[in-house]
Amino acid sequence: MIWVLLFISSIVQAQEGIKEIESLRSGTLPNGFQYFIKDVENPVAKTTMRLYIKAGFDHEDSLQQQMSHLIEHLAFKPTLHTPTSIKDEAFLDRLGMNFRDIGGTTSNLHTRYLFDAPPNHPKAFQTGLAWFKDIAMRLPLTSEHINQEKGSVWQELISGNQDYQDYYKAERNLEAQLFPFRQSYDRLSHHIQNFSHKELRRFYKDWYRPDLMAIVVVGNLNDMQETEKLIQDTFSDIPRPQASYPHIDIHSAQQKRSPQFKTQVWEKGFDPEKKEEVEYHWYIRQPELVNSLHTREGYKRYIAFQLLSRVLHQRLKEANAPALIGSAKNKDTYSYGGNPFSLALYFTTFPSKSKEAFQQIAIPLLQLKEQGVKEQEWKKIKEDYIKESLQSEVFYWNEELRDYWLKNEVLFPNKQKVFHQWVQELSIEKMNAYLQQFLSSPPKDIGIIAPQGNKALNFTEEEIRAWIEEAYRGPVPMYQPPKVVKSLYNEIQKEELPLVAYTTKAPAIPETREIVLSNGIQVVLKPYQPTPGVGEQSIKISGFSLRGAACYSSSDYYSALNATDLVTHQGVGGINAKEIQSLMDYAEIMNCRSYIDYKESSLQAEGNLKHTEEILQLLSLYFQPVNPQDIDFDAWQKEALETRKSQKNIQEDFRNAIRKVVQDSAIPPSFNFRYLKGEQAILSIGKTEEKRSLEIYQHVFGKPEQWTFLITGNFKTEDVIPLLQRYLGNIKPTVQKLRCTPTRQKTFKASGPVRKEILSNTPMENGMYDASYYQEQKGKNSWKETLELRVLGQVIQRQLNRLRYEKGFSVYNFGGYGRYDPEVKRYRLYFQVACHPKELYPIQKEIQFIVKELRAGEIPKEYLKQAKQSIKRRYKVPYLKQHRQLHELLFQHLRYEEAWVPLEKYETFIDNIEMEDIVRLSKKYLKEKNKIEVIMSDEAL
């Protein structure tokens, strides 16, 4: 009863504290339009403006599917106050803005429009208000614009789900069966191409009304009274329809429904090896929570629900559930996904093991219900919740004001501080009382997704609910908390590791220190205060060796590239994977990973500064001799295949196809890390030989003198060097002296024009097109030419915008890029477009026309200005001093022995790029002999 009593104190309405919030103005106009204006104390770069419409996917009827999304797109077409469209970059530039300052999103519950104006810029602020008013009452919605954008909407939908489109459709269709207001995706493609424009205009007329709208403005507002008056004057004359609107409340509608049991056939597109697998969706409803979020006590219940979800997430990861394929997952559907308020559980198994799987999933739920959360995990769950909920001031107020208006969530002065304090003081007894109450009955709503012909589709509702009831009546084993590993060495073992000698080298980079440990490992230390942001309080460590797959025969290529994944699959250095994960959790180590690529190998870690010692302990394990008895090759193959199939990506297949055409063996880095991706990653498993993988791993990690480490962060050098002496300095060589004789790789030289058509093994609804112009590096890489090339890529991007915004092609993903690849010492200028196959040829012709314009110097001056500004944002000193950025810059300097450029020089050079430089570069690169075209689709074009 402790927890129940906690929540029966006096009910406080959401409105109780909003008027007491300092520097906040709010109001409702006579037509129902609402506004919220919040002045923030700390200086901010933008005044954020958000227009919200209480209309989204849930408000569409059967004839209007995706109409809310399409209307969001149409807001970026020309309107009364933005006659060249809000996406006209020259127009934005005159306001001191760029593309990243505007946007729109559509969700189940609402549609959101964004406009981030420079502070103290009345013209920009008024333009944002005018654009919002155009959206609110007079979007043109012409048939020409609708026809142009409907293809882009479809391209957007398939761009993120093309690899899993059939599964995605099955998942959406299951939701349409389980939940109110959801619609089947069976005929979505046909619908988008053939819907009546009248239905779109009807949706706009019905739902874009002032009493379903609100504006939120957050920033440094010098005159809030004037801001309020501008908003009132702008939106007061929007007419309010006479008719009322239907109230759409998915939570209440679901609460009124009886427990659901639905099956959904996954009709095609599934892996034949997965035909016998079945996926279960299981929901514990909590719709009544929505009705109390306007009170402080109700919001506390919601926080408790979030904490429960976090505890369960960790318990499911730990659970011993052999009947499952992989591990079970859970989700708070209110915060993520927009489905009716519930705790969702998802797991995959086989029909023959389904009963056992339900029983094994029930155990963590029942353990929490009957035995509660444990002291140590409770402490960590609370700490993580508080830490992860800390946000910037602007982000916090945008989120809070949105949820106050949209979801009727309570809002009052110092809300976050009050609730954080409440979480800190929340006792384990009260939480356990809540767990007992919440988990008192099993999940009620059940969904099944299984391939055509799967036996699980024949299970009856009575059969499955009987399994669940039996599981809840069965004995509940005592929960055994996993062992917490706080160090890989005890104090005696630490003392046995001597502080080895080191020598100091003259640093090549200002404000760094370089040392060489007695075993030959070189270390470059860069202590500095990173720009505030992600990684500000972390330490980053990256090591590399110039030994890679190129040192071995071509038949060993995949054995080399998969070696680190195989060796570390079940642990490393004699420590098992669970213990390593426990240490990483305890020491707040965000990642520790390694790779072997074609011409290099790397070992990287990042974590909390105060746990630098534990990070170095972990890194040292990778250099220990490999014990073949610790390797389970079959288990690695099975798990790697499962994981990589779940991560397949058509875009990566396209990139791999381009690399194959130009004979690149190196994997391009992603955030400074290299790993196999797409279909290539899957196929590589069958081409990996266990013995050779282990030998290659030992060769690469067995010679410490071949390694260089870079360490960055806000640390004291004198604190870190002794740790390096102890943990890296005591690494012993485990192999005899080895020579690396690189495999002779055929040098690629563009001898275009070349056109290659690639057939995809995955069904595609669009085609992917790449037109690249390559040039080999002559002499040393010029950082100046690289920057010029990046600016030219941005000029191309602006010219490609005409494909969508002028020519009306159904494109969503397209771009122009300029890059230098230090791995192969080659420059590349390229165009990329994803489009409907029937539009490929005219798009190619348009790109050819753009090339002629570039070579002739027929480039609008504003394009160059905008391109320079876009690139310059990434080369401003504060940006370059962000932890990830500076670490990668230093790594590239060390890895490729490139000249170190003082950070301030980049921006100065970009400022001085002129139109003649762009024309010169265009003439140099955009030649037919440099051109390689690659097209990928699922049928010959």
* Integer Cα distance of 516 and 501 in angstroms: 9
In this predicted structure, what is the pLDDT of residue 748? 72
- The two tokens of residue 760 are 């995809």
8 Å CB contact between 622 and 572: yes
b/e 906-932 (16+ beta carbons within 10 angstroms → b) = bbebbeebeeebbbebbebbbbeebbb
Cis peptide before 753 (omega within 30 of 0): yes
Range scoring the smallest mean pLDDT among 124-133, 332-341, 448-457: 332-341
Residue 908 pairs in a beta bridge with: none
Model confidence band, residue 745 (pLDDT cutoffs 50, 70, 90):
low
In this predicted structure, what is the pLDDT of residue 344? 95
pLDDT at 7 over 60: no
Contacting residues for 247 by C-beta, under 8 A, at least 6 apart: none
Question: Average of pLDDT values for 44-54?
Answer: 97
* Integer Cα distance of 563 and 688 in angstroms: 8
| Dihedral sign of CA atoms 279, 284, 290, 291 in order | positive
Question: Average of pLDDT values for 431-442?
Answer: 93
Model confidence band, residue 5 (pLDDT cutoffs 50, 70, 90):
very low
pLDDT at 900 over 70: yes
Q: What is the pLDDT of residues 773-806, one digit of tens each?
A: 999 988 887 899 999 999 999 999 999 999 998 8
Model confidence band, residue 522 (pLDDT cutoffs 50, 70, 90):
very high
- The two tokens of residue 830 are 């390229």
Taking alpha carbons only, the member of 287, 338, 284 closest to residue 309 is 284
pLDDT > 70: what percent of the chain?
A: 97
Give the chain's count of helices (H) and strands (E).
Answer: 34, 25
* Integer Cα distance of 758 and 938 in angstroms: 8
Model confidence band, residue 561 (pLDDT cutoffs 50, 70, 90):
very high
8 Å CB contact between 746 and 663: yes
The residue type of 486 is K
- The two tokens of residue 130 are 């005018």
Q: What is the DSSP string of 614-676?
A: HHHHHHHHTTSPP-GGG--HHHHHHHHHHHHHHT--HHHHHHHHHHHHTT--SPPPBTTB---
Model confidence band, residue 336 (pLDDT cutoffs 50, 70, 90):
confident
Radius of gyration of the chain (CA): 30
Q: What is the DSSP string of 214-231?
A: EEEEEE--S-HHHHHHHH
Question: Average of pLDDT values for 668-688?
Answer: 95
8 Å CB contact between 104 and 113: yes
pLDDT at 744 over 70: no
8 Å CB contact between 772 and 830: yes
For 222, which DSSP code? S
* Integer Cα distance of 455 and 466 in angstroms: 18
* Integer Cα distance of 224 and 257 in angstroms: 47
User: Residue with structure tokens 């408000």?
Assistant: 59
pLDDT at 337 over 90: no
In this predicted structure, what is the pLDDT of residue 14? 47
Question: Average of pLDDT values for 823-850?
Answer: 95
Q: First vs last Cα of the chain: how many Å apart?
A: 69
Model confidence band, residue 549 (pLDDT cutoffs 50, 70, 90):
very high
More confident residue, 560 or 938: 560
User: Residue with structure tokens 């190998």?
Assistant: 601
Model confidence band, residue 939 (pLDDT cutoffs 50, 70, 90):
confident
Model confidence band, residue 10 (pLDDT cutoffs 50, 70, 90):
very low
* Integer Cα distance of 941 and 937 in angstroms: 8
What is the four-CA torsion angle of 240, 246, 249, 250, rounded to 10 degrees? -130
pLDDT > 90: what percent of the chain?
A: 84
Taking alpha carbons only, the member of 397, 216, 416, 407 closest to residue 294 is 407
In this predicted structure, what is the pLDDT of residue 274? 86
Q: Best-predicted range by mean pLDDT among 60-74, 664-678, 723-737?
A: 60-74
8 Å CB contact between 525 and 717: yes
Residue 790: C-alpha distances to residues 797, 820, 830, 918 (Å): 11, 9, 11, 10
Q: What is the pLDDT of residues 620-640, one digit of tens each?
A: 999 999 999 999 999 999 999
- The two tokens of residue 901 are 């450029």
Q: What is the pLDDT of residues 167-210, one digit of tens each?
A: 999 999 999 999 999 999 999 999 999 999 999 999 999 999 99
What's the chain's average pLDDT?
Answer: 93
